[in-house]
Amino acid sequence: MTAGAATELWRMSATELAEVIRARQASSAEVVTAHLRRIEAVNPAVNAVVTVLGEQALQAADAADRALAAGADLPPFHGVPFTIKDNIDVAGTPTTQGLKALAAAYPRRDAPVVERMKAAGAIPLGRTNLPSGAVRWHTDSELWGATVNPWDRTRTPGASSAGEAAAIATGMSPLGLGSDGLGSLRHPAQCCGIAALKPTLGRIPHATTSGPDFAAIGMQLTGVYGPLARRVADLQAALAVLAGPSWRDPWTVPAPLRGPERPGPVRVALVVDPAGNGTAPQVQEGVRKAAAALEDSGYVIEEAEPPSIEAAANALLVMLSTPGIRQGWKEFLAPLAPPGTRQFMSAFFEAAGHPGAMAAEQSFMTRQSVLRAWGEFQEARPLIVAPVCTEPPFEAGTDLNEGRVAETIGTMRMAMAVNALGLPAVALPVGVAGGLPQGVQVIGPRYREDLCLGAAGAIESRLGVITPIDPR
**What is the number of structural domains in the chain?**
1
Residue 263 lies in a domain: no
Question: Is residue 261, in this structure, part of any structural domain at all?
Answer: no
Has residue 262 been placed in a domain? no
Q: Mean per-residue pLDDT for 353-365?
A: 95
Examine residue 469 and state whether it is found in any structural domain, yes or no: no
Residue 471 lies in a domain: no
The answer to whether 363 is a known catalytic residue is: no
Query: Rounded to the nearest 5°, which phi and psi values hold at 261?
Result: -65, 140
Residue from 179, 184, 210, 308 carrying the catalytic annotation: 184
Active site residue 160: yes
Q: Find out whether 167 and 128 touch, Cβ atoms under 8 Å.
A: yes
Output the CA angle 358-361-364, nearest 5 degrees.
150
Within a domain: residue 131? yes
Helix axis angle, 14-22 relative to 54-69, nearest 10°? Answer: 40
Which pTM does this prediction carry? 0.97
Q: Which helix (H) or strand (E) holds 226?
A: strand 224-229
Mean pLDDT of the chain, nearest integer: 96
Instruction: Convert the pLDDT of each residue in 87-115 to its tens digit.
Output: 999 999 999 999 999 999 999 999 999 99
Given 13, 160, 210, 308, which residue is catalytic?
Answer: 160
- 147 — phi, psi (to 5°)? -90, 145
- Tens of pLDDT, residues 427-459: 999 999 999 999 999 999 999 999 999 999 999
User: Is residue 395 within 8 Å of 155, Cβ to Cβ?
Assistant: yes
99 in a structural domain: yes
pLDDT at 311 over 70: yes
For 22, the domain range is: 3-207+217-245+268-463
226 Rama class: left (phi>0) / alpha (psi -120 to 50) / beta: beta
- Residue 69, domain CATH: 3.90.1300.10
What percentage of the chain exceeds 70 in pLDDT?
A: 98
pLDDT at 6: 59
Catalytic one among 28, 85, 161, 289? Answer: 85
Res. 3: pLDDT tops 90: no
Any catalytic annotation for residue 308? no
**What pLDDT, on the 0 to 100 scale, is given for residue 262?**
87
